[in-house]
Amino acid sequence: MIPRRTFEIAFLGCLLALAPARSGASSAAPDTVLAPPWARNAVFYHLYVDRFRDGDPRSIVLGQAPWDSELTDTMVRRGGDLAGVKIGLSYLEDLGVDAAVVDGHWRSVGPLGQDPLSYFSTEPLQGNNKTFHTGVTESHQRGLRTLAGCDWFQAGPDCDVPDEYPEFQKWSGGLPRRQPAPPGAPGFSPMLDGLANIWVRYNGTDGLFAHLPWPAGDPLRDSAMAAVRLRVGITAAQRLESKLVLEDRPDMGGMSLPLARFFYDSPTGCDRGMPSSSASTTRALRLLAAEPSGPAGLDRTPLFFALRCPQPSKRTLIPELGLLARLCLPGRVMLEYGEEAGLWDDGILPGRPRTMPWSPGRVNVWRLERVRRLLKARAEHPALRSGETGFPESEDADVLLFTRRLGNELVLAAFNRSSRARELMVGALPGLAPGLPRASILGADEAVRIGSGGKVHLDLPPLSAWVAAFTIAP
C-alpha cells in the first residue's frame, strides 16, 4: 500500500505539472491554434463555383440566365461548374494568389449554397466529388492551396447526412431551414469531424473555410470558436490539425476597417465617428500590426462596401487604392472573385450575385495588371509579405505612408487618396541613402527622391499608389 503522504505529494506534483499546459492552451491566440504557418500572410481568392466560370457549356439548366447578363438574382443559376474552376486555375496561378477558397460547391437548393441538401456531396449541376478531387490535385500541382468553403453552423430537415454521423442526423432533422445551429447543440462536433473527413481527408483540400454568422462579442460566436479549438485537438490524431483554417473574425475585421475609414470617408459623411486623417488611420494600423500573431482572421477587403456611405463612382480609383494598400500590409488577405478586375466597384456586393467578368469589355485591365504586379512583388520581396511594419510621420492628412522591413530590404508604400497632387517630406528613414538600389513596384521612379540622412521627398499624383523596394545595409 502506498503511504498517504507519498500519494498526496505525487498527486500535487501531477497538478503542478498539468497547470502550465492547461494555462497555455487556454491563453493561446486563435491564430496560433487554428492557422497553419503557410496561411499566416497568404492571399486567398474566394470564389463561388456557380459565378466563377462555365467550363462545360453543354450542361444547361432550366431557367438559367445568360452568363454575361446583369441579372443580380441570387437564386438563379448562371452555369458555373467545377470544370470551369479547373480551367480558371491557370488564371489564379498567373494572378499570384496563394490559395483558392471554393465555395457554394455542396448540393443545395440555391446556386450559392443556400438551403443545403448535403454537405457531403458536390452539387450535381457543377460536377461530382471526383471532379472536385481532381481539381484539388491540379491546384496542388500548380502550387496553389485549396480550401473548401462551408456554412458549418447551418443545417435543416432536408439535409442528407451519411449514416456514420447519427448525432448530426438527429441534430439537422430538428432544425428549421436557414436557422444557424448553436455550437453546443448535439451533433455539432460530429459535423466538424464529418466535414473534415470528407473535404480534407478524402478530397485533399488544405483546410476548411467557415462562415461565422454572429458578430464579434456574441456568445454563440465565442462558443463556436471554443468548440472548433476543441476539435482541433481531436482531429490531431487524424493528422488534420495543420489543415483547419477558420474565419475567426466578423467580416469587418483586422486591417480592413481602418483602411475603409480612410479611403471611403467623404465630404457628405459616411459615419461621423470615422477618423478622416492619415494620422488616426496610422494609429489604428499600428496597433493591429503590433499584435503578436499579426492581424487575426481573414481580412476581406471588398467589404469596405458594407459601410453605409455614398458609393464612389466607377471611374474613381478609391476602391483600387484600398485594395492595393491592403495587399501591402501584414496579415492574411481575402480577395473576392472579380475584385481584381473591378467587378465590385459599383458596390453590388451583398449576395455576390455577379458572374466573373471573363469578357474583355468587362475587365478593368489596368487594375488587373497592378494587382498582379503587387501579388508578384509579395512573392519576390519577403519584406512585403512578412517584414516588420513601420509608420513614418506624414504631414499630409490625405497620404497614407508605411514601410515593411526584413533583413537588408525596405519597402516604402505611399497612397494619395486626394483628387489633387501631393508633395511631402518624410523624416529620415534608417538605412536609406541616396543611390541605393531599388526595385519599383508601383508608380514612377521620379516620384521619390532620397536626400542626405535618409530624408524622403515624395511627389504623388492624384489618387495614386507608389510602392518600391530598397536594398539597404543589414
pLDDT digits (tens, 9 = 90+) for 11-44: 333 323 333 333 333 334 444 445 677 887 889 9
pLDDT digits (tens, 9 = 90+) for 120-135: 999 999 999 999 999 9
Report the alpha-carbon distance of residue 19 to residue 119 in Å, rounded.
39
C-alpha cell at 169: 442526423
Q: pTM to 2 decimals?
A: 0.86
Q: Is the pLDDT of residue 317 over 80?
A: no
Contact 210, 150 (CB under 8 A): yes
pLDDT digits (tens, 9 = 90+) for 406-446: 999 999 999 998 889 999 888 888 888 888 999 999 999 88
Report the alpha-carbon distance of residue 12 to residue 19 in Å, rounded.
11
Structural domains in the chain, sorted by start: 28-386 (3.20.20.80), 388-471 (2.60.40.1180)
The three state secondary structure string of 321-346 is HHHHHHHHCCCEEEEECCHHHCCCCC
Averaged pLDDT for residues 144-150 = 91
pLDDT digits (tens, 9 = 90+) for 152-164: 677 777 888 888 8
Average pLDDT of the residues of the chain: 78
Contact 146, 245 (CB under 8 A): no
